[in-house]
Amino acid sequence: MDNICLEGRLSMIAKSMVKYVEGSSVTRAMFEEGKKLAAKYGAENVFDFSLGNPSTPPPESVKKALSDILNETEPGRLHGYMNNSGHEDVREAVAQSLNKRFGTAFSQKNILMTVGAAGGLNVILKTLADPGDEIIAFAPYFGEYNNYVANFGGKMVVVAPDILSFQPDIEEFGKKITAKTKAVIINTPNNPTGVVYSEDTIKKIAEVLYNKQEEYGTQIYIISDEPYRELVYDGVKVPYITKYYKNTIVGYSYSKSLSLPGERIGYLVIPDEADDFENLLCAANVANRILGFVNAPSIMQLAVARCLEETTDISVYDTNRKLLYNKLVSYGFECVKPEGAFYLWVKALEDDDISFVNKAKEFNLLLVPGSSFMCPGYVRIAYCVDTDMIKRSFVQFEKLARCYN
């Protein structure tokens, strides 16, 4: 069923849900529109860049792991309940993998397996946020953060970007922190810009937070949302934020790194060093249950534990990145060259990004307006698509550019 409710059909739902239904995800709406256009014009003539759905297959090791697990594992362990935080051996394997890669000192007690990164973010926000607490995010950011924060009565506070680099504006960030600030959401590599926050940026964010904690006598947590950590290009390094700021909680997902978005599997990292660690851990474990997740999918926990050193083939995304960036720049588009993820952030050729997106639809180009990411005047192009589709789209992008020349 399409995620669309028609006027006159909302009277029986909760009043709090009306605004969510009416403002349902622009990205998802574009995806649905793409299917309709494909039925009308033929799929080969529609260029859908709207949804960040991985286009590369999972590594063969995932298929083998699933097969072996189904054939070898005792049914009670395979399908039964477990600790709400997940299988202990899986959590230990995740912890040791992180320690090997980043020089950390985690153990299974620091890991909570979650129903994807989105589930993990809701768990930690439930753990931390009281109604009225403020959560800061750096624009542009994934629009669902607004909904996750609203789920628990929080108030989202937006920090505008430095539009030259799309690194966070540190000066404005400091001004937005108050005694009510409970957490700061960081997403790097970033959706929608593809920018990786530099080590210098992370150090400055940490310095501001340490100073503000002392000023207000409060604890402020970083929630580092990292589904794109493995998708980086040109040798770019993504700082592991727990090493820079002790009150950091990491949310991770295998949706992008292993191309498993439909399996909903990820984890939270809650370091020993975090203030009130024991209570945080206990509360997050309970939140995982009372939010209805109970535990992350058992089979997928066991599968990813066998594939911790694997990733999907990101060379395809790198090829697409270079093709799209170079060609669009040659047509006169102003683009942020992505360092990670699989999105291209492009300045709209008119002030109204929604009007620009509608103009692009005339050429069967489906883009997502920057206003969906709290940053109007830009559009996001997801290049996690077939390379041939990108090549076929160039004629249409050139026609679109000519409309503004």
For 373-401, write each residue's pLDDT tens digit: 999 999 999 999 999 999 999 999 999 99
- Top pLDDT among 43 and 73 is at 73
pLDDT at 329: 98
Provide CATH 3.40.640.10 ranges for the chain. Answer: 60-305
β-pairing, 181-187 vs 155-159, is: unpaired
Contact between 138 and 152 under an 8 Å Cβ cutoff? The reply is no
- pLDDT tier for residue 34 given thresholds of 50, 70 and 90: confident
Within the chain, all domains assigned CATH 3.90.1150.10 are found at 15-58+312-402
Cα gap 141→372, rounded to integer Å: 9
Which pLDDT value is given to residue 5?
53
The whole-number pLDDT of residue 6 equals 47
Helix or strand (DSSP H, E) at 299: helix 298-305
**Contacting residues for 363 by C-beta, under 8 A, at least 6 apart:** 396, 397, 399, 400
Find out whether 370 and 376 touch, Cβ atoms under 8 Å: yes
Say if residue 2's pLDDT is above 60: no
Q: What is the pLDDT of residues 323-366, one digit of tens each?
A: 999 999 999 999 999 999 999 999 999 999 999 999 999 999 99
With a cut of 60, say whether residue 284 has pLDDT above it.
Answer: yes
User: Model confidence over 174-233: pLDDT tens digits?
Assistant: 999 999 999 999 999 999 999 999 999 999 999 999 999 999 999 999 999 999 999 999
Closest among 229, 253, 25, 245 to 123, alpha carbons compared: 253
State whether CATH 3.40.50.970 applies to domain 15-58+312-402: no
| pLDDT score at 404 | 95
Q: Write the CB contacts of 132 (distance below 8 Å, at least 6 apart in sequence).
A: 153, 154, 155, 180
- Residues paired with residue 347 on neighbouring β-strands, in sequence order: 378
Residue 223's pLDDT is what?
98
- Using 50, 70 and 90 to split pLDDT, how confident is the model at 1? very low
* pTM for the full predicted model: 0.94
User: Rounded mean pLDDT of 129-135?
Assistant: 97
At the second CATH level, the architecture of 60-305 is 3-Layer(aba) Sandwich (3.40)
Mapping DSSP onto H, E and C, the string for 313-344 reads CCHHHHHHHHHHHHHHHHCCCCEECCCECCEE
pLDDT of res. 111: 98
Mean of the per-residue pLDDT values of the chain: 94
CA separation for the pair 43, 312 (Å, rounded): 26
pLDDT more than 90, % of the chain: 88
| pLDDT(307) > 70 | yes
**pLDDT score of 150:** 95
